[in-house]
């Protein structure tokens, strides 16, 4: 009953609260109250939001336009903006892209970071997304924002030197645009309820990574295998890396720690909530628990300070 009453109100009725989240600093009482109310509204509108909108423009980046699709990612961006979706990550990614010559994004989903980064990038930008529905939405979002120079590859990324077909598990998330699809083989993720298996082309990471000076990777459990596969390239080229590190990704964290020590990287944790300040952590003692301790799951490995 309450959900129906909330959905009966026009979406414009929530704009003031959405603006309050954007305008006020973290920890401000008005922002905290607005966030609480918006979280309730977001739950009520879950799976319904896309039917009431023709586009989504983040309040903290209104120059960007995204398709209104049934996606947990786009719901969060509508209600809370880019900063409310993953904290400092979008801002840092845009700044990294602005100073890079060749960008690779592994796992583009519907294109939030592709659009944010692509708008700032001045050199080559390639994004790889394997799920057909996600890739179609990503392609449309690139077009909406005039990013014809961004290369979209509809494929999965795999270790090795040979292209081959691979099978992906599409989990049953109850949404048209899944966020947790992953390779059936070779992932460290625990088993998830499956909606479908899809077969897609698999492109070798070594070829994709060659010559890149910035790589973002959100590959749902295969990050460690991909990084290990290109470790000689990483040590030779030392690109900046933005990697998702989940608490269960112990092998990935150990690999990043060893890589950072050997290559001389600094590891920066990007908080998603509670703070807007990135945190440089000790590479030698970095583990999968460190990002969570800073309200995060994303880290940057860089050879110097992060752009401000």
In sequence order, the β-bridge partners of residue 153 are 128
| CB of 41 closer than 8 Å to CB of 79 | yes
In the chain, what percentage of residues exceed pLDDT 90? Answer: 67
Domain with CATH 3.40.50.150 in the chain: 89-302
* Tokens coding 274: 């509670």
Q: State residue 217's pLDDT score.
A: 94
| Sign of the dihedral defined by the CA atoms of residues 261, 264, 266, 267, in that order | negative
Kindly compute the dihedral angle of the four CA atoms of residues 128, 131, 137, 139, in this order, to the nearest 10 degrees: 30
Mean pLDDT score, 119-134:
95
Nearest Cα residue to 308 out of 264, 266, 275, 278: 278
* Tokens coding 201: 């082309």
DSSP 290: H
Averaged confidence pLDDT in the chain: 90
Q: What is the pLDDT of residues 68-116, one digit of tens each?
A: 998 889 999 999 999 888 889 999 999 999 999 999 999 999 999 999 9
* Tokens coding 179: 């966020």
**Whether pLDDT at 247 is above 80:** yes
**205-228 burial: b if 16+ Cβ within 10 Å, else e:** bbebbeebbbbbbbbbbbbbbbbe
Mean pLDDT score, 277-284:
95
Domain 89-302 falls under CATH 3.30.930.10: no
Q: What is the pLDDT of residues 38-54, one digit of tens each?
A: 999 998 988 888 889 99
CA pair distance 19, 16, nearest whole angstrom = 5
Q: What is the pLDDT of residues 150-203, one digit of tens each?
A: 999 999 999 999 999 988 877 766 665 566 555 655 554 445 455 667 788 999
Nearest Cα residue to 150 out of 178, 133, 128, 177: 128
CB atoms inside a 10 Å sphere around CB 276: 13
Mean pLDDT score, 12-21:
89
List, in sequence order, the alpha helices (H) in the chain: 2-8, 15-23, 29-45, 72-86, 89-98, 112-118, 132-144, 205-209, 223-229, 231-237, 250-263, 289-293
């Amino acid at each position: 009953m309450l959900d129906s009453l909330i959905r009966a109100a026009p979406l414009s009725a929530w704009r003031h609260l959405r603006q309050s989240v954007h305008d006020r600093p973290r920890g401000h009482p008005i922002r905290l109250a607005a966030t609480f109310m918006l979280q309730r509204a977001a739950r009520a509108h879950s799976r319904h939001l896309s039917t009431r909108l023709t586009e989504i423009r983040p309040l903290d980046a209104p120059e960007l336009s995204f398709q209104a699709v049934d996606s947990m990612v786009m719901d969060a961006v509508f209600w809370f903006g880019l900063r409310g979706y993953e904290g400092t990550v979008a801002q840092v990614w845009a700044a990294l892209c602005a100073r890079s010559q060749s960008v690779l994004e592994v796992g583009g989903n519907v294109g939030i970071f592709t659009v944010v980064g692509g708008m700032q990038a001045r050199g080559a930008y390639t994004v790889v997304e394997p799920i057909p529905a996600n890739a179609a939405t990503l392609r449309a979002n690139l077009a909406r924002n005039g990013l014809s120079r961004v290369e979209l590859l509809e494929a999965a990324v795999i270790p090795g030197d040979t292209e081959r077909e691979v099978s992906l598990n599409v989990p049953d998330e109850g949404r048209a645009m899944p966020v947790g699809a992953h390779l059936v083989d070779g992932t460290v993720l625990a088993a998830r309820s499956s909606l479908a298996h899809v077969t897609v082309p698999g492109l070798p990471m070594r070829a994709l990574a060659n010559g890149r000076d910035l790589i973002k990777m959100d590959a749902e459990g295969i990050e460690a295998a991909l990084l290990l596969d290109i470790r000689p390239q990483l040590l030779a080229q030392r690109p900046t890396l933005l990697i998702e590190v989940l608490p269960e990704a112990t092998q990935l964290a150990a690999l990043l720690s060893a890589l950072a020590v050997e290559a001389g990287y600094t590891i920066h944790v990007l908080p998603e909530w509670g703070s807007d300040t990135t945190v440089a952590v000790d590479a030698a003692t970095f583990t999968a628990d460190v990002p969570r301790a800073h309200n995060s799951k994303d880290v940057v490995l860089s050879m110097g300070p992060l752009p401000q």
